[in-house]
Chains A and B, each alone.
Chain A
Amino acid sequence: MVLTDEQELLLRASRGDITAYGELVGRHQSRVFNVAFRMMGRRRDAEDAAQDAFLRAFRALDRFDVTRPFGPWIKRITVNVCLNSLESSSTKLQTSVSDIDRDDGPSFGMDRWSHPDPTPEQALLAKERSGSVRFAILRLPPLYRAVIELRHFQEMRYDEIASSIDRPLSSVKSDLFRARRLLRAYMNEERSLT
């Protein structure tokens, strides 16, 4: 069986090759960081959560099927790491809009714009919109953030979300619908204030 480049790295890493794992981490660290940032809201916390997720993944690599893609798996682990961290912390993270604005840099290497070179006005608008949506997500309880992340950013089906965060399917559906309702309310609130 011919392995892809990533599968080769995964195989070596699963046998304890730290250098191979380091290369794998390098390929996925940016995406994982963004998953963590959407959950945690602060850059430092997101970096810590990303590190923790990669370390946990390494310990579980011997049980991982190397023919499966690594990306979705590590992102699921990241969401769970963030969820555990948020639920166990005594003071829930309250992130202000100013924190998000400071962290948001002009980064369009992985943006979702259809054209590659937005104008400065479009860039500013995107930054403001992103900031508002990010802030609204961070106002949600941790579990609701997780289901929004897994559905809208990881594009998982309801049953996959249920399996990822170990909740019944019916609960996931109601969590998702309530989360969206809350997000709409927060976004409307934001719009009415501006």
Chain B
Amino acid sequence: MEHLDEALLHEYLDGLLDQPSRLDVEAHLLGCSACSDELAALQTLFDQLAGVTDLTLTTDVAEVVVSKLEASRLEVSRKRPGIEHSPVWTRLALSFQLGMALVMVVGLWPTIRARLPAISWNFEHAIEGLRLSFPLEWEEVASGTASLASEFFLSWPSLDLASGQWILLLGLSLLAWLWGNRLLFTYNLNGGNHGRSS
């Protein structure tokens, strides 16, 4: 006589068989003492496991957990929020930005040095313009910057914008950069969210 697969007996006792399978198993058990004995032994184990009593907890885990949470919160608030508390990816982003800035300065340095008198003249002229008359002569500053950029090995895209639009664009870019870095530096490690209140 073929006996039931052991897994079937386990699943039968775990109540995980569908009705047709359960009926098949029960039908087999009626005629097979070996499988019945095996099932009974398994049931005994299940009963023994169900009979395990719980122990009494003698320490106050809640008190320890609360004090540890409060201590870690105090620790975080005492430390100045900064890059050392930010995740690794934020530090990599900052390092990348610093690296790019350094590359640009190094790449542009010979040109900057060569053009310094012209730039100085442009700015002095711009300042004179500020003192003497309005509108500001930002066009000369803009053209000086553009010619400086054209000396660089990368070609810069030419944008035909009015001076005011240039100021707005550069101003917004600077704000976005500063805001983005501020967000990076205030990343909250506890919840992973920015500015999570206590």
Mark A residues whose CB is within 8 Å of B. Answer: 15-16, 18-19, 21-23, 25-26, 29-34, 37-38, 43, 47, 50-51, 54-55, 58-59, 62, 103-105, 107-113, 126-127, 129-130, 133-134, 148, 151-153, 157-158, 173, 176-177, 180, 183-184, 187
Mark B residues whose CB is within 8 Å of A. Answer: 6-7, 10, 14, 16, 41-42, 45-46, 48-66, 68-70, 73, 190-193, 196-198
User: Is A130 touching B191 in the complex (CB atoms < 8 A)?
Assistant: no
How distant is A116 from chain B, measured CB to nearest CB, in Å? 13
Q: Cβ of B69: which chain A residues have Cβ within 8 Å of it?
A: 18, 21, 55, 58
State the main secondary structure of chain A at its contact with B. helix
- Report the separation of the CA atoms of residues A184 and B13 in the bound assembly, to the nearest whole angstrom: 15
User: What residue in chain A is nearest B190 (Cβ atoms)?
Assistant: A59
User: Is B68 touching A133 in the complex (CB atoms < 8 A)?
Assistant: no
User: What residue in chain A is nearest B45 (Cβ atoms)?
Assistant: A184
- Report the separation of the CA atoms of residues A150 and B50 in the bound assembly, to the nearest whole angstrom: 13
User: Is A25 touching B61 in the complex (CB atoms < 8 A)?
Assistant: yes
Q: Cβ of B14: which chain A residues have Cβ within 8 Å of it?
A: 151, 158
User: What residue in chain B is nearest A26 (Cβ atoms)?
Assistant: B62
User: Is B66 touching A109 in the complex (CB atoms < 8 A)?
Assistant: no
Can you list 11 A-B contacts (CB < 8 A)? A29-B57, A34-B57, A37-B55, A43-B55, A55-B69, A59-B190, A62-B192, A105-B55, A110-B54, A112-B50, A183-B49
- Report the separation of the CA atoms of residues A59 and B189 in the bound assembly, to the nearest whole angstrom: 9
User: Is B10 touching A176 in the complex (CB atoms < 8 A)?
Assistant: yes
Given A51-B68, A184-B41, verify A152-B49 contact (CB < 8 Å).
yes
Q: Add 8 more A-B contacts to A22-B66, A47-B57, A103-B55 (CB < 8 A).
A: A16-B190, A50-B61, A104-B53, A110-B54, A112-B51, A152-B49, A153-B52, A177-B10
Given A151-B14, A180-B42, verify A25-B66 contact (CB < 8 Å).
yes
User: What residue in chain B is nearest A159 (Cβ atoms)?
Assistant: B16
User: What residue in chain A is nearest B61 (Cβ atoms)?
Assistant: A29
How distant is A39 from chain B, measured CB to nearest CB, in Å? 13
Q: Which of B56, B70, B193 has a CB less than 8 Å from the CB of A109?
A: B56
- Report the separation of the CA atoms of residues A50 and B59 in the bound assembly, to the nearest whole angstrom: 11
